[in-house]
């Protein structure tokens, strides 16, 4: 195995420590697997454009830790990651939750191709990666948590992915600062169940999670 595919124990320890600062338990084995995911992402990114985030430090903060920040709010048994891109937040969350079934969907074939390869390389048997747009996806079983960090406004998220949510389930929208204007634009049928402040170590940007449920 090449050096690039063997994350150092120090790097794994650092990632585990940073996750603990967010209240997320991540053992050294899990941390090493997540860092291997970044190795794969960097390798593929050199051939096809999967993410604009290139530096190792930025990838750890903006892909891994940012994904893990929503761990306390994810419920199963089924989780759908809409617009997963290169697999975030779905792949890190699937690694932390082996008893939950994750469906990662995206409209770009090359990105889903990478997600499938990465899931296999990490041994994530609880991941299903589908090349499909959210509005066209009609699963047999709906999800308790439908999460996205790249699907535009709250109204757009609810419009395109609301049909994927099980009764009493939630749409989980990862955002920067609290999106007051987007909340005001929501149509009848959806209401804000909570706005959770997310703290990502080393990331000097506001982050929050908007939880939407079916309402009046």
**If DSSP codes are grouped into helix, strand and coil, which group holds residue 8?**
coil
Residues 16-33, mean pLDDT to the nearest whole number: 95
Asked if the model's pLDDT at residue 25 lies above 60, the reply is yes
How confident is the model at residue 7, as a pLDDT? 55
- DSSP for 92-139? HHHHH-TTSEEEEEES-HHHHHHHHHHHHHTT-TTEEEEE--GGG---
Q: What would the pLDDT profile of 40-55 be if each residue is shown by its tens digit? A: 998 888 887 777 677 8
Q: What's the chain's average pLDDT?
A: 92
Q: Rounded to whole angstroms, how far apart are CA atoms 139 and 163?
A: 10
Tokens of 204: 């000097």
Please state the pTM of the whole predicted model: 0.93
How confident is the model at residue 175, as a pLDDT? 95
Q: What would the pLDDT profile of 101-143 be if each residue is shown by its tens digit? A: 999 999 999 999 999 999 999 999 999 999 999 999 999 999 9
- Say if CB 59 and CB 38 are below 8 A apart: yes
Number of domains in the chain: 1
**Who's near 121: CB < 8 A, 6+ residues apart?**
36, 37, 40
Give the CATH number for residue 18. 3.40.50.150
Handedness of CA 186, 169, 136, 176 (dihedral sign): positive
How confident is the model at residue 151, as a pLDDT? 79
The residue segments making up the domain with residue 134 are 3-214
Q: What is the DSSP letter of 62?
A: I
Q: Rounded to whole angstroms, how far apart are CA atoms 199 and 39?
A: 25
Map tokens 């749409």 to a residue. 171
Q: Rounded to whole angstroms, how far apart are CA atoms 82 and 148?
A: 5
Residues 192-200, mean pLDDT to the nearest whole number: 94
- Say if CB 171 and CB 211 are below 8 A apart: yes
Phi/psi at 108 (nearest 5 deg)? Answer: -105, 115
């Amino acid at each position: 195995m090449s050096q690039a595919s063997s994350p150092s124990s120090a790097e794994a320890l650092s990632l585990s420590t940073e996750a603990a600062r967010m209240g997320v338990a991540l053992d050294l084995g899990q941390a090493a697997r997540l860092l291997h995911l970044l190795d794969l992402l960097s390798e593929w990114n050199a051939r096809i454009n999967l993410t604009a985030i290139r530096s190792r430090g930025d990838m750890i903060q903006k892909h891994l830790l940012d994904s893990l920040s929503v761990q306390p709010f994810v419920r199963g048994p089924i989780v759908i990651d809409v617009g997963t891109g290169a697999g975030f937040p779905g792949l890190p969350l699937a690694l932390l939750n082996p008893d939950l079934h994750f469906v990662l969907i995206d409209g770009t074939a090359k990105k889903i191709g990478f997600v499938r390869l990465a899931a296999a390389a990490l041994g994530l048997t609880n991941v299903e990666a589908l090349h499909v747009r959210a509005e066209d996806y009609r699963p047999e079983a709906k999800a308790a948590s439908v999460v996205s960090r790249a699907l535009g406004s709250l109204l757009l998220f609810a419009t395109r992915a609301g049909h994927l949510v099980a009764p009493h389930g939630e749409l989980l929208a990862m955002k920067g600062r609290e999106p007051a204007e987007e909340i005001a634009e929501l149509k009848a049928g959806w209401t804000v169940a909570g706005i959770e402040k997310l703290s990502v170590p080393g990331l000097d940007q506001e982050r929050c999670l908007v939880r939407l449920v079916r309402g009046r």
